[in-house]
Amino acid sequence: MRSNLATPIALLLFIALICWGTFDLRKSGAGRKDTVTLAGSTSVMPFSEKLAEYFMLSHPRLSVEVQGGGSSAGIQATINRTVDIGMSSRNLKDDEKVHKQILICYDGISIIVHPSNPVRDISLDQIQKVYSGRIRNWRELGWIDRNIDAVSREEGSGTRGAFEELVMGKAFIDDGIMVQDSNGSVKEVVATDPYAIGYISLGIVDQKVKALTIDGVIPSVRNIIQQKYGMVRPFLYLTATEPAGAVKVFIDFVLSRDGQNILRKEGLVPIRG
């Protein structure tokens, strides 16, 4: 009889303990004021981390925490006020309302292939046909008779969103196209597969892959500033309220000459020349 009563009581106590634990965690997380938290686009994340690094050198009393999650998650987190600054690498949709959008820089999207691939140039129309499944063979792009291993990003990714907007128009990305879940993995696949093609942020293109010229235009910071290169998207910081305190100090730093110079060195396009 005694054990019959004791079991549920013990169970209840256990549940109460769990609930209390989670509640307590939440409370202690919100209490710290001198930390600026950022979350969102994985494309913006590495650059925000770089900015945070420099920022914390000159502002030792403030700390900046950068997390990923993707553009959509970043926008959502801004609306829910779970982060101070949301990061987005695409323009916001009509139903996504935040208080303030701060343009921090532009980023080009480049089309990459394996370094051994002799193809140098591709037209916007050809890219669209490759990703909508109407061009499947390298012969049609002036190379050997071999299937194109095209790589895309997953649904919801900011890079994919910008790519669809800039290149695909109304066409859908074909179901047969491979999908990787980060700029890095796309680059890795293209760097190891001689027949692959992919699209990644211009800022992270390096020696392991070759960026194609698009309609004869080299993807470079200069060509983006001169508005010759069209595949460009904005990098945005989002806030739910008017920036104040540490948040304002950080945003001012990002928009300052120093901050913009850091972004330029990382291969992005600053908002003022």
Partner 1 sequence: MANRFFSREHLIKCLLVVAAFSSLLFLFIIFAFILGEGLPLFYKVGVIKIILGFTWAPTKGFFGIFPMIVSSYMVTLGALIFGAPLALGCATYLSEYASRRMKLFLKPALELLAGIPSVVYGFLGVVYIVPLIREYLGGPGFSILATSAVLGIMILPTIISISFDSLMSVPPTYREASIAMGATKWQTICNVVLPAARSGILASFILGMGRAVGETMAVIMVAGNALRIPMSLLDPLRTLTSNIALELAYAAGDHRSALFSTGVVLLIIIMILNFVANFWVKRKVTG
DSSP string, 27-40: HHHHT--SEEEEEE
Task: Give the whole-angstrom CA distance, residue 123 versus residue 72.
Answer: 30
Q: How many residues bind partner 1 (CB under 8 A)?
A: 37
Position 69 contacts partner 1 (CB under 8 A) = yes
- Residue 144 buriedness (CB in 10 A; 0-12 / 13-18 / 19+): exposed
Q: Report the residue from 48, 72, 117, 201 that binds partner 1 according to the rule CB under 8 A.
A: 72
| CA angle (24 as vertex; 19, 27 as ends), nearest 5 | 130
Task: By CB under 8 A, tell whether 14 contacts partner 1.
Answer: yes
Among 36, 38, 64, 68, binds partner 1 (CB under 8 A): 68
In the bound state with partner 1, the residue whose beta carbon lies nearer, of 189 and 209, is: 189
Beta bridge mates, 130: none
Q: Could you say which residues in the range 170-209 bind partner 1, by CB under 8 A?
A: 172, 174-181, 189, 192-193, 195-196
Closest Cα to residue 102, out of 145, 56, 51?
51
Examine residue 15 and tell whether it contacts partner 1 (CB under 8 A).
yes
Cα dihedral 213, 218, 220, 226 sign: negative
- Which of residues 56 and 166 has its CB atom nearest to partner 1 in the complex? 166
From the list 4-12, 107-115, 121-129, 236-244, the region that binds partner 1 by CB under 8 A is 4-12
Q: What angle do CA 123, 124, 126 make, to 5 degrees?
A: 65
Q: From the list 49, 56, 76, 171, which residue makes contact with partner 1 (rule: CB under 8 A)?
A: 76
Binding stretches for partner 1 (CB under 8 A): 2-3, 6-7, 10-11, 14-15, 42, 68-73, 75-76, 147, 149, 154-157, 172, 174-181, 189, 192-193, 195-196
